[in-house]
Amino acid sequence: MNRAAVMGSGSFGTVFAKVLCDAGGEVRLWGRRPEIVKAINEGRENADYLPGVELPETMRATLDPAEALQGVDYVVLAVPSQTLRENLSAWKPLLPESAVLVSLMKGIELGTCRRMSEVIQEVADVPQERVAVISGPNFAREIAARQPAASVAACTDAETARRLQAACMTPYFRVYTNTDVIGCELGGAVKNVIALCVGIAAGLGFGDSTRAMLITRGLAEIARLGTALGADQHTFAGLAGLGDLVATCSSPLSRNRTFGENLGRGMTLEQVTAVTRQTAEGVKSSEAVLELARKHSVEMPITEVVAAVMHHGMPISEAGYLLMSRSPKPERYGVDE
Ligand SMILES: NC(=O)C1=CN([C@@H]2O[C@H](COP(=O)(O)OP(=O)(O)OC[C@H]3O[C@@H](n4cnc5c(N)ncnc54)[C@H](O)[C@@H]3O)[C@@H](O)[C@H]2O)C=CC1
Ligand SMILES: O=C(CO)COP(=O)(O)O
């Protein structure tokens, strides 16, 4: 039986812990709020993040990272991307020597422009073969309801990816493997930025034609950045690319899309931030993605306007004008562009 620690008891951390239990694992879930840990252990529910979802007996929540991490095969990281470095630094002395570290996070670190697997490798000081990523179109509430869904387990070491696949495959959660960690992580992080833009467009009252344009051109810019960073272009046609992009840009469950929609409807950035209780990774990551693009001389027009709206006070009317008044171009996709 696999033993796993899931570090972070927000919506996706809790759901992925449930998936691991349903796949036959024994799981300890670390949380930082005593009332959530108590409610999971005594009431088998994380009412704050997943009301009404019964959590398995094989999941035990704890406030103590040492108790969570002791003797596990997998350390699954599910905290906000911008706090990972600080969290993992504190947990480093407690990490079991041969455990595989798994990222569920879909963000890029501000300041360093590092992907989450890079932050993990650097902070935990482990080789890349011991770092894996789970990424795909997976809304916490839908997976919690055991709706059929799929995801990707990515690791540069194919055998590690295959073992992780086996550890989290269930009758309702189908997992594929990929050795393209860069592509899977970029797909997950940049789709949040595109979803912010799609949300703004929806809030302004624009329909499916606008959404399809942003999804398609968004995918082109994700693929351009990805290939410049060494990803395999094919990854972006998969679950961690197009799959997650379409899901996030289409669903009212997406925090990023909803954040954008509230802006499009006329709320200020401060008002939207105040009503957004959960992590909308694209807001902060947009700036880091843009910096990464500039470092590699990659054009990312949608990311550029999203970062300008989120971080530099650009009005959304100006963002729309800038996107639509770009110079005429032939349509190309990805590496040839
Ligand atoms: N919710 C979803 O459907 C999916 C989310 N993800 C990704 O998983 C990651 C986590 O997302 P969620 O669990 O949904 O977010 P969430 O907002 O529901 O939960 C975040 C968790 O991190 C904790 N946290 C906040 N600040 C912290 C800090 N300074 N130190 C330690 N813990 C802190 C919160 O207490 C909470 O338990 C994100 O990167 C997200 O993009 C990936 C796939 C699906
Ligand atoms: O990553 C997700 C779905 O795959 C969740 O998206 P949001 O963070 O926008 O809610």
Sequence spans of domains, the chain = 3-179, 182-336
**ipTM reported for the complex, 2 dp:** 0.98
In whole angstroms, what is the distance from residue 190 CA to residue 186 CA? 6
What pLDDT does 334 receive?
65
For domain 182-336, give the CATH superfamily. N-(1-d-carboxylethyl)-l-norvaline Dehydrogenase; domain 2 (1.10.1040.10)
Task: Select which of 38, 191, 284, 295 is catalytic.
Answer: 191
In ligand 1, the atom with minimum distance to the C-alpha of 139 is 3
In whole angstroms, what is the distance from residue 12 CA to residue 104 CA? 8
**329 CA from centroid of ligand 2 (Å):** 31
Q: What is the pTM of this model?
A: 0.97
Distances in Å between the alpha carbon of 185 and those of 109, 137, 296? Answer: 12, 13, 17
Residue 253's nearest CA partner among 117, 110, 50 is 50
Residue 285 in contact with ligand 2 by CB distance below 6 A: no
Instruction: Reduce the DSSP state of residue 135 to 3 states and report it.
Output: strand
**Long-range contacts of residues 115-123, Cβ cutoff 8 Å, at least 24 apart:** 115/181, 115/182, 115/185, 115/186, 115/189, 116/77, 116/81, 116/84, 116/185, 117/181, 117/185, 119/84, 119/85, 119/88, 120/77, 120/84, 120/88, 123/84, 123/85, 123/88, 123/89, 123/92
**65 CA from centroid of ligand 1 (Å):** 17
Quick one: DSSP state of residue 108? B
What pLDDT does 335 receive?
57
Residue 151 in contact with ligand 2 by CB distance below 6 A: no
Beta bridge partners of 139: none
Q: Which residue has the tokens 């990490």?
A: 95
Instruction: Reduce the DSSP state of residue 49 to 3 states and report it.
Output: coil
* Contact criterion met (CB below 8 Å) for 7 and 66: no
What pLDDT does 20 receive?
98
* Contact criterion met (CB below 8 Å) for 169 and 23: yes
Per-residue pLDDT of the chain (337 residues; tens, 9 = 90+): 899 999 999 999 999 999 999 999 999 999 999 999 999 999 999 999 999 999 999 999 999 999 999 999 999 999 999 999 999 999 999 999 999 999 999 999 999 999 999 999 999 999 999 999 999 999 999 999 999 999 999 999 999 999 999 999 999 999 999 999 999 999 999 999 999 999 999 999 999 999 999 999 999 999 999 999 999 999 999 999 999 999 999 999 999 999 999 999 999 999 999 999 999 999 999 999 999 999 999 999 999 999 999 999 999 999 999 999 999 999 987 655 5
Distances in Å between the alpha carbon of 193 and those of 251, 273, 282, 287, 295? Answer: 14, 15, 5, 9, 18
In whole angstroms, what is the distance from residue 157 CA to residue 74 CA? 15
What pLDDT does 67 receive?
98
What pLDDT does 293 receive?
98
Minimum CA distance residue for ligand 1 atom 4: 12
In ligand 1, the atom with minimum distance to the C-alpha of 107 is 39
Residue 254 in contact with ligand 2 by CB distance below 6 A: yes
Q: Ligand 1: which residues within 6 Å by Cβ?
A: 8-13, 32, 49, 78-81, 83, 87, 104-107, 138-140, 278-279, 281
Q: What is the CATH number of domain 3-179?
A: 3.40.50.720
Bridge-based pairing state of the strands 131-135 and 149-154? antiparallel
Beta bridge partners of 127: none
Q: Is 284 a catalytic residue?
A: no
